[in-house]
Amino acid sequence: GENVEQHPSTLSVQEGDSAVIKCTYSDSASNYFPWYKQELGKGPQLIIDIRSNVGEKKDQRIAVTLNKTAKHFSLHITETQPEDSAVYFCAASTSGNNNDMRFGAGTRLTVKP
Amino acid sequence: GAVVSQHPSWVICKSGTSVKIECRSLDFQATTMFWYRQFPKQSLMLMATSNEGSKATYEQGVEKDKFLINHASLTLSTLTVTSAHPEDSSFYICSARDPQVRREGQFFGPGTRLTVL
């Protein structure tokens, strides 16, 4: 089955700096890669996703890149703000399959004001 | 759109009792809902996939007789933790798929924190 690895486990940046979180996956059949943000005591919230037919997607300060050959994808947050502080999870799944989504271990991002 | 709610948000119970957690899709119909368990500072672990009108599919290692899942309608799935013990204390999160919004994505509820004394 799919195995998703996520690095780093913790990341601390200064407000205004960029943050990058990287994930690798093992199943070459995976073709859907969402990123979730989880604040303390809350459920994860989908912030951006990418499908395998594109290499990059951007939404304001958030971007995701995908390298299918190397089987890795990354989350980029620019101009970080204190409210970006949270735990971020990457995930990978096969489009159309109900229950094969697997999550990375999470990255705790702290943005210092 | 694609809002998922859970009730209760937290519950404390005595060992040996059963606890029911509800997961509702508020503005869409969810033929498939998922139940996850999350320990402190850890990732989400899929427990089971709940399909409306049929039996849930449990992940390996998850006791189906202990974690009863019912998906009786397109907007409601319930998870009942039977004969709860302290080791069942955890954060339980449900999610649902809304193919109209995102074919593959899952929308998560706010979670239920269960503490078994």
Give the pLDDT band of residue A97 (cuts 50, 70, 90): low
Round to whole Å and give the CA distance between A64 and A73: 7
Q: Mean per-residue pLDDT for A63-69?
A: 95
Per-residue DSSP letters for chain A?
---EEEE-SEEEEETTS-EEEEEEES-TT--EEEEEEE-TTS--EEEEEEETT-SEEEETTEEEEEETTTTEEEEEE-S--GGG-EEEEEEEB-TT-SS--EE---EEEEEE-
Chain A residues close to B77, C-beta within 8 Å: none
**DSSP-based three-state secondary structure for B36:** strand
Residue of A nearest to B109 (CA): A43
Q: Which of residues 25-44 of A touch B (CB under 8 A)?
A: 32, 34, 36, 41-44
Contact B105 A49 (CB under 8 A): yes
Round to whole Å and give the CA distance between A89 and A75: 10
Q: Are A107 and A21 contacting, i.e. CB atoms less than 8 angstroms apart? A: yes
Residue A34 parent element (H or E): strand A32-38
What is the distance in angstroms between the Cα of A30 and the nearest Cα belonging to chain B? Answer: 12
DSSP lists the bridge partners of residue B13 as: B116
* Chain B CB within 8 Å of residue A89 CB: yes
Chain B residues close to A99, C-beta within 8 Å: 34, 46, 49, 57, 59
Report how many Cβ contacts below 8 Å link chain A to chain B. Answer: 59
What is the distance in angstroms between the Cα of B30 and the nearest Cα belonging to chain A? Answer: 12
* Chain A CB within 8 Å of residue B55 CB: no
Predicted confidence at residue A15, as pLDDT, reads 97
Compute the mean pLDDT over every residue in chain A, rounded to the nearest whole number: 92
Q: Mean per-residue pLDDT for A80-90?
A: 97
At A110, list the tokens: 């702290």
* Chain A CB within 8 Å of residue B105 CB: yes
Predicted confidence at residue A96, as pLDDT, reads 59
- Is pLDDT at B15 greater than 90 in this prediction? yes
Mention every residue, 6+ apart, whose C-beta is less than 8 A from residue A97. none
Give the pLDDT band of residue B11 (cuts 50, 70, 90): very high
Residue B109 has phi, psi (to 5 degrees) of -80, 175
Round to whole Å and give the CA distance between B55 and B69: 8
Round to whole Å and give the CA distance between A51 and B103: 11
Give the pLDDT band of residue B1 (cuts 50, 70, 90): low
